[in-house]
Amino acid sequence: MIVGSLLLILVAVVLLVVGLASGSSVLLISSIAASLLAAVALVAGARQAAAGRAAASRAAGADAVPPTGAYGPGAGTVIPGQAVPGQGTRAGRPGAAAEPDRLAPDAPPEDPPDEPAVQPSRAADAARVAQLADDVLVVDGRPRYHLAGCPHLTGRRSEPLPVREAVEFGFTPCAVCEPDTALLIGHPGS
C-alpha cells in the first residue's frame, strides 16, 4: 500500500506539472484526485502496518514466559510491565544485589503521579481474569481498573467495562481495591 501511495504521488506530480504547462484543468483535477488516492493508500498502508506490528507483539507476548517469584504472602508471578509498590530495581533497593527470580519494573512513565500502583498477580490468575465478563470501573485517561467503592474513584467519573475488555484495552488492576483478587474469589473454578 505504501509503495502504491508513492507511485500515486509521482503520478500526481507529473499530472500537475503537465497540467500547469499545458493549462489543462482536466490534468490539474486528475492530479488532485491522484493526490487524494495517494493519501488514502498511505493511511491504509499505515493502518495495515500497525495491525501487523500489534499482531506480532501479541504473538510475542503469548510466547514470552513471565518471570516467577513472590512479592509477599501468596503472591506468585508479576505480570511483565506491572509496577510493584515500593520497588524500583530488580531487588527493590538501589544498589542491592538482584535476586534472579524477582522482577520489579518501574511504573510506566505515562502513569499520572497520583495513580495507584498495579496489583501484583500470578500470570495464571491474570489470564483467568482476562477471560471474565464481570464489570469493573475505569476512568477515562487513567490506566487502572477498579471495583466499586475504590477510594481512588472518589470524585472521578468512572464507567463500567467488562474486565476482559479492560485488559484488552491495556488497563491494569488497582493495588488499592485489588479487583483481580475479588473477581477470582467470585469465580473460584474459572
pLDDT of residue 132: 92
Mean predicted lDDT score pLDDT of the chain: 76
Q: Residue holding cell 504473538?
A: 59
Question: Residue 149 and residue 179: Cα distance in Å, rounded?
Answer: 11
Is residue 7 assigned to a domain? Answer: yes
Q: By residue range, what is the domain housing residue 178? A: 123-186
What is the per-residue DSSP string for 169-183? TT-EEBTTT-HHHHH
Is residue 73 assigned to a domain? Answer: no
Q: What is the pLDDT of residues 169-179, one digit of tens each?
A: 999 999 999 99
- Which of these three, 43, 63, 83, is where a domain ends? 63
Pairing of strands 158-162, 135-139: antiparallel
Is residue 28 assigned to a domain? Answer: yes
Beta bridge partners of residue 159, listed in sequence order: 138
pLDDT of residue 68: 38
Question: Residue 149 and residue 60: Cα distance in Å, rounded?
Answer: 36
Is residue 74 assigned to a domain? Answer: no
Per the model's pLDDT, the better-predicted residue between 105 and 139 turns out to be: 139
Per the structure block, which three cell numbers stand in for 127? Answer: 489470564
Is residue 107 assigned to a domain? Answer: no
Which percentage of the chain shows pLDDT scores above 90? Answer: 41
Per the model's pLDDT, the better-predicted residue between 176 and 65 turns out to be: 176
Is residue 99 assigned to a domain? Answer: no
pLDDT of residue 157: 93
Angstrom distances, CA of residue 63 to CA of 7, 49, 56, 58, 76: 38, 21, 11, 9, 19
Q: In the predicted model, what is the mean pLDDT of residues 137-159?
A: 93
How many domains is the chain partitioned into structurally?
Answer: 2
Is residue 41 assigned to a domain? Answer: yes
